[in-house]
Structure 1
Amino acid sequence: MALDSNSIPLQDQEEQEPQLQDHNATAHHPSAPPDELFDISTTVDPSYVISLIRRLLPANANHKHNSSGFEALVQGLNADSMEKSEPTPPGDISPHSSKDASESMDIIDDFHKNAPEEGENVDLYGVPVGIEAWEEYGCILWDLAASKTHAELMVQNLVLEVLLANLMVSQSVRAMEISLGIIGNLACHEVPMKQIISTNGLIGIIVDQLFSDDAQCLCEICRLLTVGLHSSERITWAKALQSKHNLSRILWIAENSLNLQLIEKNVELLLATIENSDEVVHILLPPLMKLGLASLLINLLDFEMSKLMSEREPERYPILDVILRSIEALSVIDGHSQHICSNKKLFQLACDLVKLPDKAEVSNSCVTAAILIANILSDESTLALEIAEGKLFMFPSLVYSFQDLLSCTFGLISRHDMEVTLRICPDLPFLQGLLDLFPFSSDDLEARSALWNIIARLLVRVKEKEMSPSVLQQYVLVLVNKSDAIEDDLLDFQLGDLQSKARTTALRRIVSILNQWTTSKDYAKDNDMTDEHADDLSVDRLLDCCRKHSEHEPSTVSQGTEE
């Protein structure tokens, strides 16, 4: 017996009514894009995507270009629309799609109806009415292009030709940004990327957008070019960029832009030219270096460091990070590394960043700076001596921060005593900064190897037997204060042979310093300094740990090789 509708529970009726409404809605409207749906396994109606592409046809394309080419583009969209509107199993497409075949035949008429004519009303900004709708459709396609399936469907249905037509005519800067954004997302997928390369004239007009004056358009073009240089078609993109005219513009943007997002995207593009295959590096890096890439990156770092020391602006942290990554990548390229490794200003900036007391917010940048320092020291070992002798001065605020750190931790040193100590052993804040970085580099073998290498180079220059107990005490306090970080690194990780030897050298130097401190305790007691001693248990624990892990490998960093 059939149930009467009145006998159905109220909750069930409420659940059934929206279903009926949804079914009726799909009879008149295209399927919603995936980002507006719940997590339901479904596909976007192909005819919906084609309808969006059709709506992006530039209204004035027939006036700016030969009509035969435009008519061919329109007919191609019509043909694809008819093909995609063939019946499919229920649930895959909405009922409205059966109408698309007949509707698509009217696209040329629709195009002419929507085209602006002389004297047509415009808004307060002089933009033809309907640009908001164009931008809405474009943004939907921008989102859809992030999906590989949708991206391939879009390029099959002439989206690249439509976007090329838009880039070739006068459009609003927002429309230009959307067009570049769609292509940027398409370029993230292999098949659409090949289609971009094969679309006649597209790469050239994309590169021409570097000379736009709009910051957001420039952000999208830099992102698109970066994706291109990282793709399997990187050589084609590199050749498209290699002219002095284009490369000069890229450097000019980095040097003159005030837009933080644009600076970040632009330097990411520069990083893509440095951190790439040998073929791309050979094409792009020599002309960039001749145009002053190295000095530009160092000047950008100098500016970001001055901002970091004066005021903390979190939105600038990604810029600092990508600049350092670019410089570090450049420091290991044969034939170009000398421009980095011979620059003492850069070395000082990197050291100052490592010495920064509060590293949590810029930890990635500090770790990159440490790797950069290790790279530089491998070419310019005498700089380690300059650190030890205090020839590379740090920011005054860092001197006081280091003194405050020891005072808060141990309550034992005045500012005057700290200044005297730093004149005798000015590498103490740098050593402290290096040890601070171990927790931030636990998953980075290269970074940990760099840290041990630098520490070894510093500690072989420490003359613990020639130091007064008060000066030696500062070294011990720094080491003991970071004993947990040292022990965690020794216990949890294994290094390769070369890195292990550098670490062994550092550990043996720590053992020597701690042993000298142990033998000097009688002198300290005689001079009434017992309250200022580091905890004996902490010293003994660190000493035992370092001895244990320094017994198996020969040291590699010696006084003779470092001079």
Structure 2
Amino acid sequence: MMVSNQRPSREAREESEEEGQEEIGAEVRGEELEEEENGHSPSHLPFAPSSELPDTTTVDPSYIISLIRKLLPNNIRTQKQCQNATYNLYPVETSKECPLEENMVEESNYMNKVADTEANNNSAPHNIVNDSEGSSSTNDRFVDWTYSSASTYNGMGPDSRNQDTGSDDNAWEDSGCIIWDLSASRTHAEFMVNNFMLEVLLASLHSSKSPRITEICLGILGNLACHDVSSKAMASKDGLIEMVINQLYLDDSPCLSETFRLLTVALHGTGSTLWAKALLSEQTCLRIIWIVGNTLNSTLLEKSIDFLLTVINNKEVSNVLLQPWIKLGLLNLVVNLLSCEMSNLDDENKPNRTSFLDPVLCLVEALSTIDCGLETIFPNDELSHLVCRVIKLPEKYEYTSPCVSAVVIIANFLLDGKHIASQLSQDHEFLQGLLETIPLVSDDLQARGALWCILETLLVQIEEREISISSLHHIVSLFMEKSSLIMDDLDGHYMEGSNTGAILRTLLRIASIIEEWYGRKNEKIEETANIVDSDAKVQRLLHYCNKYSSMLSSPNVQE
């Protein structure tokens, strides 16, 4: 169930930039001005393709400063107005209830002086555009280029977004959305940080009672964290990291989504260790695990899983956080997430919703590569059974990416849990699913190598001379039915990759099983008649196995 956010459109933002440029002295002919105000380009000046548009835009610095000033909390702006009116009559007594706001008075005073200086250099006024409707889009992995003007609440706690926040909050939101947009640019982000953007956002987060204002503050911080200079400034700003961590205790899904996005970006930055240490609190860890395991909001689930992946994949961060989180139930969370996703696939009566099978499996895959051993962190076989169910899915082309991840995970399982191999070697449905997965891993050398390693490990467990003729016949039937997949893979990847040893040993095992079956196929069983007509396929597969095993065993082939 996706959250449907209304966000300002690219056209609306372009119009706001055009209006700002017109107000600072741009000269445009009357006819062209009228057409541009209507959102249409003059006939002799068509719009350039988006791929040819410049990556940067020019925005008057004093306009950005005026927007930053509009984001000051009301109490600070009121104090500023009183200070201007009674400066020569009475001293202004700042509030002692909040040290942050007390510091912000001095910082905002200095910022106002900077703004006045910039405004004197350019006397043209700047208006804030109030157009805030449109659709959402994303330009890259982390930077959020467009923003919601009325995020749809969905999921975690009481819905406080339906309350009337007043005209002041609406004006703040308009200015905040423009700042959010501009902060996607590195140049603008650095300018904002140099002009007390972090102090203003910190004060707004401290005093805000509006979930929408909090969401915008976190969104702006998330964009600022994408740029090196502003990211370093955030990591060194007193109280900012702690303030962001505190937002994890909100019950508003959009705010939590932006918090996880911000944390994900911050953990990729140069100050990742500082952020990781701030997340070490047991209460914070338990809160994160609870959110991921209980949210029904698809956007929040996506952002929180991305955050967990970042924690696991970043070595410096995982050294700080992973072991404490494992002790607090991270692994049970992962198993429950995968179990839930598989249940949703099996239950046709459940309404359609966004599937998170792929990101959850990416999470399992990341955990399967850590050094402490899978048998240590996953003491029972529940997770391996769930992953094997992915391989058994009937419509594999609808789940290509999950199947590829599942192959890599199972290969890692077999390295650490040898007892699983014995169970899987007797599961003919799993063997069939694994053979059907061969074309899906064809373009991924790592996954292809993992698949052949799995086949080798399973076939070594099969003692063809000891098993019944019925079981032997069933295994050969599977090889016969999927022989074209095996042969196509061998033809398409001849001498390719670094896992030729596993392929060679697998082909030798297949050939041995087929030859044993030939020696015993005259034993009377009902199924034998079904394969007589396909004897040519078995012979051809045996020929391929002997041919390629001979090639791969050549001294010229390097493993």
- Give the TM-score taking structure 2 as reference length: 0.74
Q: CA deviation at 1:36?
A: 13
CA contact (8 A) 1:267 1:323 kept: yes
| Distance in 2, Cα, partners of 1:485 & 1:38 | 41
1:272–1:505 CA distance, 2 compared to 1 (3 A): same
C-alpha distance 324-340 of structure 1, shift in aligned 2 (>3 A): farther
Deviations 1:353-372 (A, max 9, x none): 21111223332222222222
Which deviations, in whole Å up to 9, do the C-alpha atoms of 1:30-60 show, x marking residues without a partner? xxxx999996436231333333322222223
* Residues 331 and 340, structure 1, Cα contact 8 Å, conserved in 2: no
Counterpart position of 2:506? 506
**C-alpha separation in 2, matches of 1:182 and 1:247:** 24
**Higher helix proportion (structure 1 or 2):** 1
Change (3 A) 1:149 1:491: farther
Per-residue Cα deviation, 1:164-217 (whole angstroms, up to 9, x for no partner): 111010331111111111111221121111111122211110011111111111
Deviation at 1:83, TM superposition (A): 5.8
Letter of the 2:513 partner, please give it.
I
Check 1:235–1:16 CA distance in 2 against 1; reply closer, same or farther (3 A cut).
Answer: same
State the alpha-carbon separation in 1 of the partners of residues 209 and 249 from structure 2: 15
- The answer on whether the counterparts of 2:487 and 2:544 sit within 8 Å (CA) in structure 1 is yes
* Residue number in structure 2 paired with 1:99: 124
Q: Aligned to 1:247, which of 282, 285, 291?
A: 285
Secondary structure of residue in 1 paired with 2:369: coil
**2:451 counterpart residue number:** 451
Cα offsets for 1:362-411 (capped at 9, x unmatched): 322222222222112111112211223xxxxxxxxxxxxxxxxxxxxxxx
Determine the C-alpha separation between the residues in 2 that align with 1:167 and 1:189: 21
In structure 2, do the counterparts of structure 1 residues 65 and 188 end up closer, same or farther at CA, with 3 Å as the change threshold?
A: same
Instruction: Specify the alignment match of 1:43 in structure 2.
Output: 57
SS of equivalent residue, structure 1 residue 551: helix
1:58 equivalent to 2:95? Answer no
- What residue in structure 2 maps to residue 127 of structure 1? 165
Higher CA-based Rg: 1
1:273 corresponds in structure 2 to 311
Give the percent of matched residue pairs that are identical in Structure 1 and Structure 2.
41
Q: What is the match of residue 330 of structure 1?
A: 367
2:383 — aligned with what? Answer: 346
SS of corresponding position for 1:333: coil
Distance 1:136 1:513, change over 3 A: farther
Over residues 276-300 of structure 1, what are the superposed CA-to-partner deviations in whole Å (9 max), with x where a residue is unaligned?
21x3222111211221222222122
For 1:21 and 1:40, how far apart are their aligned partners in 2? 23
Q: 1:345 to 1:36 in 2, by over 3 A?
A: same
Q: Of the candidates 262, 271, 274, which is equivalent to residue 300 of structure 2?
A: 262
Counterparts of 2:281 and 2:48, CA distance in 1: 40
8 Å CA contact 1:184, 1:224 repeated in 2:
yes
CA–CA separation in structure 2 for the residues paired with 1:17 and 1:518: 90
Whether 1:306 aligns to 2:343 is yes
Q: Which of 10, 34, 54 lines up with 1:21 in the alignment?
A: 34
Structure 2: gaps spanning 5 or more residues? 1-27, 40-46, 80-94, 129-160, 555-559
Task: Please say if residues 342 and 380 of structure 1, whose CA atoms lie closer than 8 Å, have aligned partners that are also in contact.
Answer: no
Using CA pairs under 8 Å that are at least 6 residues apart, name the structure with larger relative contact order, 1 or 2.
2
Partner of 2:112: 78
Contact 1:476-1:534 within 8 A present in 2 as well:
no
Amino acid across the alignment from 2:446: E
- The 1:445–1:37 alpha-carbon spacing in structure 2 relative to 1, beyond 3 Å, is closer
Partner Cα separation in structure 2 for residue 296 and residue 453 of structure 1: 29
- Count residues in correspondence: 465
User: Which residue does 1:287 correspond to in 2?
Assistant: 324
- Classify 1:429/1:156 alpha carbon distance in 2 versus 1 (closer, same or farther; 3 Å): same
Shift of 1:16: 6.7
Distance (whole Å) between structure 2 residues aligned to residue 100 and residue 78 of structure 1:
16
Shift of 1:428: 1.5
* In 2, Cα distance between equivalents of 1:501 and 1:124: 64
Aligned counterparts of 2:487 and 2:302: Cα–Cα separation in 1: 37
Partner of 1:427: 427
TM-score, structure 1 normalization: 0.73
- Quick check: 305-314 or 139-148, which moved more? 305-314
Question: Paired residue for 2:140?
Answer: none
Q: Indicate how the Cα distance of structure 1 residues 307 and 16 shifts in structure 2: closer, same or farther if over 3 A, else same.
A: same
Which of the residues 166, 172, 178 maps onto 2:210? 172
- In the alignment, residue 73 of structure 1 is paired with which amino acid? E
Tell me if the contact between 1:76 and 1:158 (Cα under 8 Å) persists in the aligned partners. no
Query: 1:491 aligns to what?
Result: 491
Instruction: Return closer, same or farther for 1:452/1:80 CA change in 2, 3 Å cut-off.
Output: farther
Q: Distance in 2 between matches of 1:448 and 1:229?
A: 31
Q: How far off its partner does 1:509 sit?
A: 1.5
Alpha-carbon distance in 2 for matches of 1:316, 1:20: 45
Q: Which residue in 2 is equivalent to 1:402? A: none
1:475 aligns with 2:475: yes
- Secondary structure of the residue that 1:550 maps to in structure 2? helix
CA contact (8 A) 2:334 2:360 kept: yes
Deviation of the 1:512 alpha carbon: 2.2
Going from structure 1 to structure 2, the CA distance change for 1:370 and 1:57 (only over 3 Å counts) comes to same
Equivalent-residue separation in structure 2 for 1:508 and 1:37 (angstroms) = 56
| Separation (CA, whole Å) in 1 of partners of 2:359 and 2:396 | 17
Native 8 Å contact 2:208 2:214 kept in 1: no
Equivalent pair of 1:428/1:475 in contact (CA under 8 Å): yes
Structure 1 residues 467 and 23: CA distance shift in structure 2, 3 A? closer
2:194 and 2:417 map into 1 onto residues whose CA distance is: 55
SS of equivalent to 2:461:
coil
Gaps of 5+ in 1: 1-14, 27-33, 88-96, 104-122, 389-425, 556-563
Which among 193, 198, 204 is matched to residue 160 of structure 1? 198
Q: Secondary structure at the match of 2:174?
A: helix
SS at the partner of 1:446?
Answer: helix
SS of residue matched to 1:443: coil
Structure 1 residues 544 and 202: CA distance shift in structure 2, 3 A:
same
The aligned counterpart of 2:544 is 545
Question: 1:358 maps to which residue?
Answer: 395
SS at match of 2:167: coil
Hey, what's the Cα distance between the residues in 1 that align with 2:428 and 2:235? 55
Indicate if the aligned counterparts of 1:330 and 1:336 stay in contact, CA closer than 8 A.
no
- Cα distance, 1:521 vs. partner? 6.3
Structure 2 distance, partners of 1:248, 1:40, is 46
The residue type paired with residue 123 of structure 2 is S
- Change in CA separation of 1:449 and 1:314 when aligned onto 2, cut-off 3 Å: farther
- In 1, are the aligned partners of 2:373 and 2:416 still within 8 Å (CA)? no
